Each structure stands twice: as structure tokens, then as C-alpha cells.
Amino acid sequence: MPFPRWLARVNSRFTNRLLGHLALRAPGMGVIVHVGRKTQRRYRTPVVVFPRNNRLIIALTYGRNAEWVQNVLARNGCDLETTNCKLRLFEPRVFHDEQRQEMPVFVRFFLGLLHVSDFIEFIVAKEERSQAQSQ
């Protein structure tokens, strides 16, 4: 069971603005930059990312119907800003995994306590990833 929608609204208005700066500096975190489906406005959502080869996985703590997830799916991708680089993410795929197999063991435990079983996976654009690695 994902976090309640009212908490998502509070985070969107207040917490995300504060966490956005931290997310650009903290290892394992980043900021998803996406465009609103209706507003065409650019939004920034802090997330915790889990790299897997040429993929990135994000736990959907607010569920698969979160606005940022719907925006990313509608555009078939987004950008991710991290500590040192900006990555282009494409081909988003939402999946459900009760066992949380793609997560590190300690993360599985906490996501289990929170009843989070939905994830979004992206492919990292090769030219962007290699460019970021050379910096």
C-alpha cells in the first residue's frame, strides 16, 4: 500500500523543494525532471535510484498513479539529474514485485514494512551515460 495522496501533496509543495537540493548531492539520489501532461510545465521530483547495468529502478512509494509517474509514461521518458551528471532515461516500465528482488536486501526490508511493491524501470541512454562517466 503506497503512501497516502495527501502526503504526496504535502511533499510536492514543501518537502520536494527542500529535498531537491539534497538529492543532487547525496549518493543514490537524484531529481527526475519531467513535463506535465496537461500544464506542459516542467517539474522536479527527488527520488532514490537503484542502478542495474544500463537500467535505473525507482521504488514507487506513492504508487503507480503518482502524477510524476504518469507524466513520465506519457512522454516515454524523462531526465535524471544526479551528483555529477544529467542522464536521459527512456522506455519507462512500471512493474509489480511483492518480493522486491531488484532492491538491495536492507531496502527490501524497509519497502516491505511500507508495503511498497511497485517500481519503475528506465533504460539509460548510452550516449548520455558514457558522457557522464567520462566527466
Cβ(68)–Cβ(12) below 8 Å: no
- Counted domains in the chain: 1
CATH of the domain at 38: 2.30.110.10
Give per-residue pLDDT as tens, 46-82: 999 999 988 999 999 989 999 999 999 999 999 999 8
Over residues 104-127, the pLDDT tens digits come to 999 999 999 989 999 999 999 975
CB 55 within 8 A of CB 110: no
Residue 96 half-sphere exposure, CB side, CA atoms within 13 Å? 7
Count the neighbouring beta carbons within 10 Å of the beta carbon of residue 69. 21
Give residue 20's pLDDT band: very low, low, confident or very high (50, 70, 90).
low
pTM: 0.79
For 46, other C-beta atoms within 10 Å of its C-beta total 21
- β-bridge partners, 47: 30
Residue ranges making up the domain that contains 76: 5-133
In this predicted model, what pLDDT tens digit does every residue of 81-92 receive, in sequence order? 988 889 999 999
